[in-house]
């Protein structure tokens, strides 16, 4: 009676390891950007809960940039022009941060990530 062996051959194992290594390398490149976006979201939520009564857009931008420094958000990633206040119908205001980040991957291949977050503000925004 012959016994049949089962399992992965060496070549199959190497192919699987190459795919896993490629995906791990991709994750190493992308995860810091998503972690940074979570820091942006946390800083925006802090600004929204503190209230913005009478604060100007420049004051809100300065405060948000200050809070993002504590969240390890790189200053080169988000510029003050990426921070805007959108006036909704009904008088409500939303703090909006939208930016793009280009991440070199390999050779001439880059990832272009687009992040956008809106948070409703409490209180009135001054001029």
Mean pLDDT, the chain, rounded, equals 86
pLDDT over 90 (residue 73)? no
- Which pTM does this prediction carry? 0.79
The listed range with the strongest mean pLDDT (75-79, 100-104, 122-126) is 100-104
Count of C-beta atoms within a 10 Å radius of residue 61: 22
Is residue 83 pLDDT above 70, yes or no? yes
Q: How far apart are CA 127 and CA 62, in angstroms?
A: 15
Confidence class of residue 56 from pLDDT cuts 50, 70 and 90? confident
Q: What average pLDDT does range 76-85 have in this prediction?
A: 86
């Amino acid at each position: 009676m012959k016994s049949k062996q089962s399992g992965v051959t060496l070549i199959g194992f190497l192919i699987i390891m190459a795919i896993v290594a490629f995906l791990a390398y991709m994750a190493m490149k992308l995860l810091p950007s998503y972690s940074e976006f979570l820091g942006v979201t946390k800083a925006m939520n802090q600004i929204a809960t503190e209230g913005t009564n009478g604060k100007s857009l420049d004051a809100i931008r300065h405060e948000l940039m200050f809070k993002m420094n504590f969240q390890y958000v790189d200053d080169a990633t988000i510029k003050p022009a990426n921070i805007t206040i959108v006036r909704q119908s009904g008088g409500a205001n939303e703090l909006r941060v939208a930016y793009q980040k280009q991440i070199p991957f390999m050779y001439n291949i880059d990832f272009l990530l687009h992040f956008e977050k809106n948070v409703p503000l409490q209180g009135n925004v001054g001029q």
